[in-house]
Amino acid sequence: MISSPFRTKSEKMKAFSHVDIYPVISSEFTNGRDVLEVLRKIAEAGAKIVQLREKNKTKAEVYRLALEYRKITAQFNMLLILNDHLDIALATNADGVHLGQDDLPLEPAKKLGSNLIIGNSTHNLEEAFAAQAAGADYINIGPIYPTGTKTVACGAIGLETMKTISDQVRLPFTVMGGIKARHIPELISCGAVKIAMVTEITQADDIRARVTELRSLFA
């Protein structure tokens, strides 16, 4: 089995500190293209992280896919984050796991995955404070804009709520939800420096060129 290029938690967090674009790949949103082809093009464009997010596959299928993701991400020195599946993250030498509000709570997750980066989805200040208190390594704030890739009861929270949360929580944070290239300048101006995106990347005609373009907006 392929090992992570990052041996320790501190090495993983140092790599995470340099993340700009945070691509999230789901097979439903690739316009029929193979997810490994999508991942390789993202990697070739220099992305520093990727999240494997599959809501409609069995654990066995996600495990096999994660093994292939690990090969490619190790080759390109990328962080690999698994959505939801702590057990699969551990079993495939992934670098982290991203947990939602209805997934395994953070405290037991940290005990089981002490060498993993553990992220947590948050939609309001209360959830963000709870994630911080429970020891999350980073939070995701969102959805910022209306999105068709994830359904949450709160709907789009907007820039003002994002800034309220990020100003009061002492954790690295990502933002996600309906984000397009045109939104990146205003997100950066509001303090967001790690921007997670799904369809803007995975449904692009030229994925490598799109990731290169998106990353250039941070310069």
pLDDT greater than 90 at residue 76: yes
The answer to whether residue 197 is domain-embedded is yes
Q: What is the CATH number of the domain that holds 35?
A: 3.20.20.70
pLDDT at 219: 84
Q: How many domains does the chain have?
A: 1
Could you tell me if residue 3 is inside a domain? no
Model's pTM, two decimal places?
A: 0.96
> What is the extent of the structural domain holding 121?
9-216
CB atoms within 10 A of CB 213: 15
* E strand segments, 86-214: 96-99, 117-122, 138-141, 173-175, 195-197
Give every CB contact of residue 152 below 8 A, 6+ residues apart in sequence: 123, 143
Question: Has residue 47 been placed in a domain?
Answer: yes
Indicate whether 2 belongs to any domain.
no
Q: Tell me, yes or no, whether 171 lies in a domain.
A: yes
pLDDT tens column, 47-59: 999 999 999 999 9
Please report whether residue 4 resides in a domain: no
Does residue 31 fall inside a structural domain?
A: yes
The tens digit of pLDDT for each residue in 102-139 reads 999 999 999 999 999 999 999 999 999 999 999 999 99
Could you tell me if residue 1 is inside a domain? no
For residues 12 and 113, what is the distance between their CA atoms, to the nearest angstrom?
Answer: 13
